[in-house]
Structure 1
Amino acid sequence: MTSAQRAWGLRFWLITLAAVASIIVTASLGRWQLSRAAQKQALQSLLDQRAALPPLDNRQLRGQALADAASAQDLTHRAVRLQGRWLTQYTVYLDNRQMQGRPGFFVLTPLRLEDGDDAVVLVQRGWVPRNFQDRKLLPPLETDPGVVQIAGRIAPPPSRLYEFDSADGSLGSSRIRQNLKLAAFRSETGLALMNLSVLQTGPASEGLQRDWPVIGAGVDKHYGYAFQWFGLSSLIALLYVWFQLVRRFLRPRPRSLD
């Protein structure tokens, strides 16, 4: 065997090894995305089941989410219909929040439940636009001082945004904040806040918009990724067969000059 033939054979096996490894990796990624889709499908089924359950009232909510974080997690996305009074002095505006592509504030106000033991739930009431001329100028809200009834669903607190360590947006120094931690807010206000929050739903009212994103587990996204990975795996296999097997036997092999 000549040096040219040995080099050609070594190149063939290196390409074969790289192709096999690439096919295995991309196929494994496709299978992983399918497993993620199955998990998300189960989650979506759970969300649909919870959304179909009758709304929880004041008594039921207090009974199922006294102070147990695990119980609060199990109640996520359950519908609620609550009665209480707004504690407007503790209203917080979360900055840099968008709704329909517009920047503004998420408005959070504690609601003291009626006929209870001073139980309070933090309500994500809606969204208001910001004033671009004066950031600290907040739009007026039409808050009823009496007993109100709200409809909504149990939801995690608003997602945290990045903030500098020196920022005081999570402290009680301002109504406008970047983030809000439920435990820290409980300590700050001294309120008997439940270990959950409620996302108020319904049409726009009180100067607030409520075009919240539709609840979804994102199953289709994982199916799309799986299709891409399996497609890439198949493409690698086809290219390998064509260039390294089919064309190998169609083209003449290098001959020795001896």
Structure 2
Amino acid sequence: MREYRFLGTAPWLGWFALAALFAVVCGLLGHWQLDRRAETVAAIETIEANYDHEPLSFDEAAGQFRQFDTAREWTPVRMTGRYLPEQTRVVRNRPLNGQPGFEVLVPFRTAAGPTVVIDRGWLPLGSNGDPAAVPAPPSGAVDVVARLKHPEGGLDRGAPPGQLASIDLDTYAAQIDAPIATGAYGALADEKPAPATSPIAFPRPSLDEGPHLSYAMQWFAFGLLGFVGLGYAARQQAWVNRNGGLDDDEDIPVHLRSGALRKRPRRRTRRTAEDEEDDLLDAAGWR
């Protein structure tokens, strides 16, 4: 249709290229959200498969503390041994339910021989920026059930004496006298005998996959809306061309070809009886 010939002009081709670029960016962001959702769903499936699993014996899980298989994360392990409280460290900047605090790491020398790290729970931030008090673990022989967790990487920042910036087991091992397994650590689920006071136990991990799917759909919709908007603008321009009696590109003023301004068609008014009477008088030469 001739009124759409303006779509081949440079300005409109530029607008089309801009809409296409916008759609590509929105598509990439949508796929990024889908990737994040896939990671979250995989983590949820691991929790559902392992969290309530019957505890493994230490002999069955010993290899995980040396070289961790992420598919076994959250699997409970039952072990017997003794805590090494003099090597306790607290990990900074560990929020729980929106509150800042610390996590308490204590080496645990198993009866089988290897020493592993147990995260005994969470402590709130004290008034001076440190934990108000760090409860001591049970002394003597202790039966522990802990869930396997992957250690964290190191952070490019230090920590005061007795503290760690993250659960980086290699950094921890370099600070203490006892050799510890660095492939994984255990998040405490139960210990017997139970001490009089303990850090706050960790809640069950969330099974909510979050809004990633809805965000992805929104980004895809935004990408399509760019073309919808361009199509609407082109339809309006074609209507102006058609109703303004513009036959070809040469007749289209520059400001219309650029799309910056649009010519408003003249409003058509209905002729009245007085107009027709005036015409008759004019034709007869009486006016």
Q: TM-score, normalised by structure 2?
A: 0.69
SS at match of 2:95: strand
Contact 1:94 1:179 in 2 (8 A): yes
2:219 is aligned with 1:229 = yes
| Structure 2 runs not aligned, ≥5 long | 254-287
Deviation at 1:223, TM superposition (A): 0.8
Q: Which moved more, 1:104-113 or 1:52-61?
A: 52-61
Q: State the one-letter code of the partner of 2:151.
A: P
Structure 1 distance, partners of 2:212, 2:57, is 36
- Cα deviations by residue, 1:190-232 (Å, 9 ceiling, x for unpaired): 423122111113699733112446255x744321221121120
Q: State the one-letter code of the partner of 1:127.
A: W
Q: Which moved more, 1:90-99 or 1:25-34?
A: 25-34
- How many residue pairs match? The answer is 238
Aligned partner of 1:250 in structure 2 is 239
- Cα deviations by residue, 1:85-124 (Å, 9 ceiling, x for unpaired): 111010111223222222222111111112x12x111011
Structure 1 distance, partners of 2:83, 2:202, is 21
Q: State the one-letter code of the partner of 1:208.
A: P
- More strand as a share of residues: 1
The structure with the largest alpha-carbon Rg is: 2
Identity of aligned residues (%): 20
SS at match of 1:97: coil
Q: TM-score, normalised by structure 1?
A: 0.76
Structure 1 distance, partners of 2:184, 2:91, is 17
Matches within 5 A, 1:41-120: 41-62=41-62, 64-65=63-64, 67=66, 69=67, 71-114=68-111, 116-117=112-113, 119-120=114-115
Structure 1 distance, partners of 2:65, 2:167, is 21
> RMSD across aligned C-alpha pairs, in angstroms?
3.2
Structure 1 distance, partners of 2:125, 2:35, is 42
- Cα deviations by residue, 1:50-81 (Å, 9 ceiling, x for unpaired): 3353212222222x3363x3x45443221222
Aligned partner of 1:143 in structure 2 is 137
How has the CA–CA distance of structure 1 residues 23 and 178 changed in structure 2, closer, same or farther, with 3 Å as cutoff?
closer
How has the CA–CA distance of structure 1 residues 54 and 127 changed in structure 2, closer, same or farther, with 3 Å as cutoff?
same
Deviation at 1:43, TM superposition (A): 4.4
Structure 2 distance, partners of 1:102, 1:9, is 59
Q: State the one-letter code of the partner of 2:224.
A: S
SS at match of 1:145: coil
Aligned partner of 1:200 in structure 2 is 188
SS at match of 2:222: helix
SS at match of 2:236: helix
SS at match of 1:201: strand
Contact 1:202 1:210 in 2 (8 A): no
Aligned partner of 2:117 in structure 1 is 122
Q: State the one-letter code of the partner of 1:120.
A: T
Aligned partner of 1:188 in structure 2 is 175
Structure 2 distance, partners of 1:225, 1:53, is 33
How has the CA–CA distance of structure 1 residues 77 and 231 changed in structure 2, closer, same or farther, with 3 Å as cutoff?
same
Deviation at 1:186, TM superposition (A): 2.2
Q: State the one-letter code of the partner of 2:233.
A: F
